[in-house]
Amino acid sequence: MTTLGVLMMAYGTPRNLDEVEAYYTDIRRGRRPTPEQLADLVRRYQAIGGVSPLYEITVRQAQAVERVLNGQGGRFRVYLGMKHTAPRIAEAVAAMHRDGIDRAIAIVLAPHYSALSVETYHEQARPAAEKLGLELACVNQWHLEPRFLDALAARVEEALARCEDPRRAMVIFTAHSLPARILEMGDPYVDQLHESGEAVAKRLGLSHYTFGWQSAGRTAEPWLGPDLLEMLPTVAQDGYREVVVCSQGFVADHLEVLYDVDIEAKQHAERLGLRLVRTRQMNDDPDFIQAVADVIERARREQGW
Ligand SMILES: CC1=C(CCC(=O)O)c2cc3nc(cc4[nH]c(cc5[nH]c(cc1n2)c(C)c5CCC(=O)O)c(CCC(=O)O)c4C)C(CCC(=O)O)=C3C
Ligand SMILES: [Fe+2]
């Protein structure tokens, strides 16, 4: 049995505050941020303790997925490639090739597809693989993977259990906002976020839930709305006292969760007399890791590998 590669791709995070400028420049496709923009981002990293736990969590996720896949009788080797930091996606592909791997499944640690998110990872992976003659099967989305939905539902249930009156709490499913032009592009991102949220709501029989966007970029073009922060006053006006935020578009604790939700949104909520409870992130919890392994196994079967 030959070893099958798994190219596991994730966003990447600066390892320390000195790396923030280079990171931000990379996210902005080579345009350096203004001193004000940089200072604001540094301030947000400082507010969550100086560094984001994202890199360590991503490494643990990759190792755990490899363990589960191989424990099920497979022969996989997982390689981690980051979009904005080292080890880069192309480096991970090159490492696979050096190790003699000629087939790999490429998966992004983000469940919902958009041409402006998941596709940008594949756009780095595909040419790197082609150049080396490595066959790549790219997974576009996995937001409806049954055990992923189970994991998401379990976290919403657990967050509701932390509410004083779970039946009267509003659940808001969020994801990273994207430029609103994806709507004219026929992009499936918005529909997919509704699909996974609806599936969870159905599993739990939720009657009070809605959808919102978070962490929109600081650019001039319009972004998908409504923004979570703008929704909170309406939720308060409608008489809710507790709100559960499920950042379903993210699978780890990182800046967008630890700052944008835990600090910024929580402060907004408190000023409105709302208690905000956030669902726990997936990180390397076994139920989530099994779900990712299921996605990879499914892709392997579909390829006939
Ligand atoms: C769709 C999407 C995901 C989810 C899917 C996926 O995971 O891929 C995601 C995740 C993440 N985004 C992250 C960080 C940042 N994203 C930024 C900016 C942007 N994100 C965008 C999109 C996404 N981003 C876009 C279109 C921009 C604007 C770029 C521009 O200007 O054209 C900025 C710049 C400053 C700011 O705007 O806040 C930062 C610092 C971190 C790591 C946090 C940590 O370090 O813990 C993570 C996991
Ligand atoms: Fe981002």
44 annotated ligand-binding residue = yes
SS3 of residue 161 by DSSP: helix
The ligand that comes nearest to the alpha carbon of residue 83 is 1
CATH topology (fold) of 146-278: Rossmann fold (3.40.50)
pTM: 0.97
Q: Where are the domains of the chain?
A: 4-143+284-303, 146-278
Q: Are 15 and 84 in contact (CB under 8 A)?
A: no
Q: Is 74 exposed, middle or buried (0-12, 13-18, 19+ CB in 10 A)?
A: middle
Contact 196, 112 (CB under 8 A): yes
Among candidates 6, 7, 182, 9, which has minimal Cα distance to 84? 9
Q: Which of 262, 270, 251 is nearest to 109 (CA)?
A: 251
Which pLDDT belongs to residue 29? 95
Atom of ligand 1 nearest to the CA of 27: 29
Cα(18)–Cα(26) distance, rounded to whole angstroms?
Answer: 14
Give kind and range of the element (H or E) at residue 193: helix 189-204
233/222 Cα distance (integer angstroms): 21
Ligand 1 in reach of 256 Cβ (< 6 A): yes
The confidence score (pLDDT) of residue 251 equals 98
Confidence at residue 134, expressed as pLDDT on a 0 to 100 scale = 98
Nearest ligand to the C-alpha of residue 48? 1
The reply to whether ligand 1 has any atom less than 6 angstroms from the CB of 193 is no
Q: How far is the CA of 106 from the centre of ligand 2 (A)?
A: 20
Task: Give me ligand 2 centre to Cα 256, in Å.
Answer: 8
Segments of the chain with pLDDT less than 70: 1
Interior CA angle at 63 toward 60 and 66, to 5°? 145
Q: How far is the CA of 178 from the centre of ligand 2 (A)?
A: 9
> Is 3.40.50.1400 the CATH number for 4-143+284-303?
yes
pLDDT at 2: 87
Please determine whether the domains at 4-143+284-303 and 146-278 fall in the same fold group of CATH: yes
Give pLDDT, residue 91: 98
Q: Which two tokens stand for residue 126?
A: 């595909």
Which pLDDT score is estimated for 218? Answer: 81
Q: Establish whether residue 34 lines the binding site of ligand 1, counting it when its CB lies within 6 angstroms of any ligand atom.
A: no
The pLDDT of residue 73 = 84
Peptide bond into 33 cis (omega under 30): no
* Ligand 1 lined by 20 (C-beta under 6 Å): no
| pLDDT at residue 219 in the model | 86
224 lines ligand 1 (CB under 6 A): no
Look up the ipTM and state it: 0.95
User: 291 C-alpha vs ligand 2 centroid, how far in Å?
Assistant: 23
| Residue 52 marked ligand-binding | yes
| Angle at the Cα of 173 from the Cα atoms of 267 and 263, rounded to 5 degrees | 20
